[in-house]
Structure 1
Amino acid sequence: MAADALADVLKTVRMTGAMFYNVAAKAPWAAEQVAPELVLPLIRPGANHLIAYHIVTEGQCYASAVDGGEPIEVHAGEVIVFTRGDPHVMSSEPGMRAGPPSADALAGNIQLPYRVCFGDVGPTTAKLICGFLACDSGPFNPLMESLPQILIGKSDRGHGDMPCLGVLVRIAMNEIRDRRVGGEGVLGKIAELMFVEVVRQYIESLSPDRNGWLAGLKDPFVGKALALMHANPASGWGLEELAREVGSSRSEFADRFASLVGVPPMTYLAKWRMQVASGLLNDNVNIATVAAEVGYSSEAAFSRAFKKIVGEPPSVWRDRHALAA
């Protein structure tokens, strides 16, 4: 059931994927991330959170955050994800820098992914597929708040003889090679699925003593409570009812939930309701209807709660996001 909570969050943040660059590089080479404000409007106007990723299909290279941190060596079959879209450099050796490129080439009427070659002479030392995911970071995004700055996914990790991420990487490579009709849309969807699989690998790697929303998904009591609240946010959930549903005492459940997730269950439910409401408002649903959908008996009560949690009335939120889009 906990997996449903992850699916719900991914749905409400309206994730949209795009693969923009098919890179062939000859050492020495370095490439810096395109500025997020240039990329986001190309993927989904109005989105405010950028995720960058790189799939190494051949060879190896290094990934380095511009603001510091140890360079990370990335090998063929691995996917590196910058979950907050932080400025970073991909390069043949650690410590290299390059000026950020312009996104002008992506604005024209060209077939994506845009092919890029780095380096002048010698053999190709690395091939990458690079792209982005756009999503909404607010008003409440427990997934993005719980993820580390950088994730590494491995194509050979998973269940069965054909690990999911490895299959997705091969499909992406085939689409880029064959450049079939509709390939841009297919690659975008593959990007979304790959992100989910990398997150799954991260969740599976979490140690039992870790806290956070993702750790809560794995917990048998907290995970079930999250699934219940996500499945029916309009229900009049109370602390005692949730504890009973998950098979725990009221006090033990409340302590366990707050310890793992970081907020009490009722606070989480209130924030999640506003996240669901924000998505409905973005779809221009009538405010009274939105209020009923998330469990409020009146538009006035919902508006007060929305303003308290989000910081502005629902009508202002709706109009501001409509303008941005």
Structure 2
Amino acid sequence: MDVLSDVLQAVRLKGALYFDVRTCEPVVAETPAMADVGAMVMPGAEHVISFHIMLSGECWAETIGSGNPPVRLEEGDIIVFPHGHPHAFVTHLGERNPPDLQFYATARGSSLPLMIELEEGGPKPMRFVCGYFGCCATPYNPLLQALPAQVLAKRPETGNHMEVDLIQAAVEEAGSPRAGGTTILSRLSELLFVRVIRRYIEQLPDHSRGWLAGLRDPNIGKALELVHADPCCEWTLEELARRSGLSRAVFAERFADQVGETPMRYLAKWRMQVAAGLLEQPGVPIEAIAEKVGYKSEAAFNRAFKNIVGLPPGAWRRGQRAAPGGVQA
């Protein structure tokens, strides 16, 4: 079981390219918090992530209000802001140019990605492409919880530069609209996200902690594969430890240290994420959902769901139907 792919499918990742920005130094470009514009750029998405790839030129990227230090963006670099922080791209650190929020509302109705030209013709041209990912944050998105305020994927010094190729292919696709173009653009940006996260995992320092570090740990990664391959199985701590090649005590300690959850708590939370997806399917009885995620009775499932999510499954389902873009019965 490919755990990362399973999570991305369960949280319904969806991508979109928005802006193809061409400018020159000096640059001062600010992106607002996704809490302010997320619903405009990705309607119906519970959580919105912004990303940018530098196709040419260089500048500083500052994540506003996160406490993260500025980072230098160069050609081929990609930066992702998983938690929706406002951020700025500047030639000179500290400069600001407050964005026009209404611009994001009007851009939605345009052909995407939208070309933006900002004072071209200077001695140092710059070009970067901006886009967004929409996903579910609740009941449980372990990937989102594991990511920092900013993820910088530096262009590799050797090897292929597929991420840049993906964006260039997407921009070319947008430049000559054809049947299926919107789907191609979405899939290309989603593939870009997977590539960036994969690169981020590979660049994690030794002895890193967190869900992403757990994926590359041979023993903990095996346990995660087992849980995601068969979440309805009656897993026990002893069985997961045995199948992962560790003693019960060592496994429990290492899993909690790496993932930040006990194995049984992680299993329960992931079951609720799977259940939430099933609850959004019209006409599926709650009793059947309980069985699909490993509970022998509807009452036991109701208690577990409320304990983790804060609402009974029936109330969760009604809330999702009432939300903008929610599934109707």
Inter-CA distance 120–196: structure 2 relative to 1 (3 Å threshold): closer
Q: Is the 8 A contact 2:17 2:130 kept in 1?
A: yes
**Corresponding residue number in structure 2 for 1:293:** 292
How much has 1:244 moved relative to structure 2? 1.6
Residue 189 of structure 1 aligns to a residue whose secondary structure is helix
How much has 1:201 moved relative to structure 2? 0.8
Provide the C-alpha distance between the structure 2 equivalents of 1:37 and 1:249, rounded to a whole number of angstroms. 45
**Corresponding residue number in structure 2 for 1:27:** 25
Confirm whether residue 127 of structure 1 aligns to residue 130 of structure 2: no
How much has 1:163 moved relative to structure 2? 4.2
Q: Which amino acid in 1 is paired with 2:93? A: P
**Corresponding residue number in structure 1 for 2:152:** 152
How much has 1:170 moved relative to structure 2? 3.3
Q: Is the 8 A contact 2:35 2:84 kept in 1?
A: no
Structure 1 residues 124-133 or 277-286, which shifts more? 277-286
Q: Is the 8 A contact 2:32 2:85 kept in 1?
A: no
Q: Is the 8 A contact 1:257 1:265 kept in 2?
A: yes
Residue 137 of structure 1 aligns to a residue whose secondary structure is coil
How much has 1:224 moved relative to structure 2? 0.4
**Cα RMSD over matched residues?**
2.0
> After TM superposition, where is structure 1 displaced by more than 6 Å over at least 4 residues in a row?
none
What TM-score, normalized by structure 1, do the two folds share?
0.91
Provide the C-alpha distance between the structure 2 equivalents of 1:200 and 1:66, rounded to a whole number of angstroms. 25
Confirm whether residue 192 of structure 1 aligns to residue 190 of structure 2: yes
Provide the C-alpha distance between the structure 2 equivalents of 1:321 and 1:289, rounded to a whole number of angstroms. 19
State percent identity of aligned pairs.
Answer: 44
**Corresponding residue number in structure 2 for 1:9:** 7
Provide the C-alpha distance between the structure 1 equivalents of 2:47 and 2:191, rounded to a whole number of angstroms. 17
**Corresponding residue number in structure 1 for 2:314:** 315
Q: Which amino acid in 1 is paired with 2:97? A: A
Following superposition of structure 1 onto structure 2, how do residues 192-231 of structure 1 map, counting pairs within 5 Å? 192-231=190-229
Q: Is the 8 A contact 1:53 1:81 kept in 2?
A: yes
Residue 196 of structure 2 aligns to a residue whose secondary structure is helix
Inter-CA distance 105–123: structure 2 relative to 1 (3 Å threshold): farther
**Corresponding residue number in structure 2 for 1:104:** 105
Inter-CA distance 176–73: structure 2 relative to 1 (3 Å threshold): farther
| Number of residue pairs the alignment of both structures matches | 320
Provide the C-alpha distance between the structure 2 equivalents of 1:180 and 1:79, rounded to a whole number of angstroms. 27
Following superposition of structure 1 onto structure 2, how do residues 138-177 of structure 1 map, counting pairs within 5 Å? 138-156=138-156, 161-177=159-175
Residue 97 of structure 1 aligns to a residue whose secondary structure is coil
Q: Which amino acid in 1 is paired with 2:114? A: Y
Q: Is the 8 A contact 1:140 1:271 kept in 2?
A: yes
Which structure 2 residue ranges, 5 or more long, are not aligned? Answer: none
Q: Which amino acid in 1 is paired with 2:105? A: D
How much has 1:294 moved relative to structure 2? 0.3
Provide the C-alpha distance between the structure 1 equivalents of 2:26 and 2:180, rounded to a whole number of angstroms. 34
**Corresponding residue number in structure 2 for 1:266:** 264
Q: Is the 8 A contact 1:56 1:74 kept in 2?
A: yes
Inter-CA distance 120–252: structure 2 relative to 1 (3 Å threshold): closer
Q: Which amino acid in 1 is paired with 2:79? A: I
How much has 1:179 moved relative to structure 2? 4.3
How much has 1:54 moved relative to structure 2? 0.6
Provide the C-alpha distance between the structure 2 equivalents of 1:171 and 1:120, rounded to a whole number of angstroms. 23
How much has 1:5 moved relative to structure 2? 1.2
The match for 1:244 among 242, 248, 262 is 242
How much has 1:172 moved relative to structure 2? 2.5
Confirm whether residue 233 of structure 1 aligns to residue 231 of structure 2: yes
Q: Is the 8 A contact 1:155 1:164 kept in 2?
A: no
